[in-house]
Amino acid sequence: MSRRPDVSALVSSYPQYRLGPFSPILAEMLQHFETLDKLRDRTVLELGPGNRVGLMRFLAQEATVKSIQGVGRSIVWPWTRHRTFIQAHVVNARLLEFFKTQGRGTGYDLIYSRLVMEQHSIDPWILLSSEAYRQQFKKRRFTDFDASYPGSIPNLQAVFLEAWGVLNPGGVIISVIGKRKYSALESRFLGGLKPRYINVQDLGRLSRIVTLG
């Protein structure tokens, strides 16, 4: 029986992938799948990788997953590191727009993101349907955009719902969320999705990791 690999050992053994920032995601990934071998037949989606595709490359080349794809808005310049890999595996699109193009039968075994869900796909129609947004706008309280701007909250929930909808049975969503106070991924929202498994852990004072399966 294969032993679950140690995350710190993986990070140090594969310095070329710069896995350090992804350590919490790797830990949750191995908690769910146990070993890298069990990822071989899995379909994987990263939300908002930008040009930091270290974990995507690691999963493709070392874990040899069945398929891996990233989606998010990014500019790939001619001098961008790993430009060929990015062009082959990353779709340059807004998250909500991407999910709307997914046909029936599209499914992923693993969806993960790192500090991007709450920043992507700012959809004005979602914002206008948000009571929090309307109240803030009415009271002209957009003085501190970092703290009071609620644009990320309804969009984060919308993106999370879309991701949950394309998850295969037995699959898992792993997301590191910044500004946890404003993330809206609280127990009431997560429980409403009726998952079999929920794990929420704080990472330092500002962020948290949410795992749903």
Chain segment 47-69, per-residue pLDDT in tens: 988 888 999 999 999 999 999 99
> How far is it, in rounded angstroms, from Cα 136 to Cα 107?
37
Model pLDDT for residues 72-121, shown as the tens digit of each residue? 877 777 777 888 999 999 998 888 788 888 766 679 999 999 987 655 44
Rg (alpha carbons) of the chain, rounded to whole number: 17
39 three-class SS: helix
Element (H, E) at 10: helix 7-13
- Residue 150: pLDDT band with limits 50, 70, 90: very low
pLDDT: which is higher, 4 or 64: 64
Nearest to 105, CA basis, from 43, 195, 190: 43
Q: 158: which 2 tokens? A: 């919308």
